[in-house]
Amino acid sequence: MHGPGIQSGADWCKVVYIRSMQEARRALRQSVSLPMRTVRRVKALAKARRASASRVIAELIESGLEAQEREKARFVELADALARSTNRAEQKRLKDELARLTFGS
């Protein structure tokens, strides 16, 4: 240790790891405004799951973030396939799929 709260070497790495893991588990309070229709749907889900509305909102946000990450990965996968493709029909199909991902149906 090089002073109060300052560490070096492997111990420093261990402390950073532990601290970041604790922060990942810690919840941060946020305030959001939701349309009434959404509030009713969240409350209905919470009741059906026997969970709090807060827990349902957190799960829905996590699910949405994961879906967004999957969509981004799919876009990169298609773009890579397009760059590698030499077949005109496949290139058109890939371009159409990329356009759907980018601009919707």
How high is the mean pLDDT of the chain?
Answer: 84
**pTM, whole model, 2 decimals?**
0.65
Question: Cβ contacts of residue 71 below 8 Å, gap of 6+?
Answer: 101
Task: Report d(CA 15, CA 21) in Å as an integer.
Answer: 10
**How many angstroms from the chain centroid is the CA of residue 12?**
29
Task: Report d(CA 82, CA 99) in Å as an integer.
Answer: 12
Percent above pLDDT 70 for the chain:
76
Task: Report d(CA 42, CA 49) in Å as an integer.
Answer: 10
Contact 94, 85 (CB under 8 A): yes
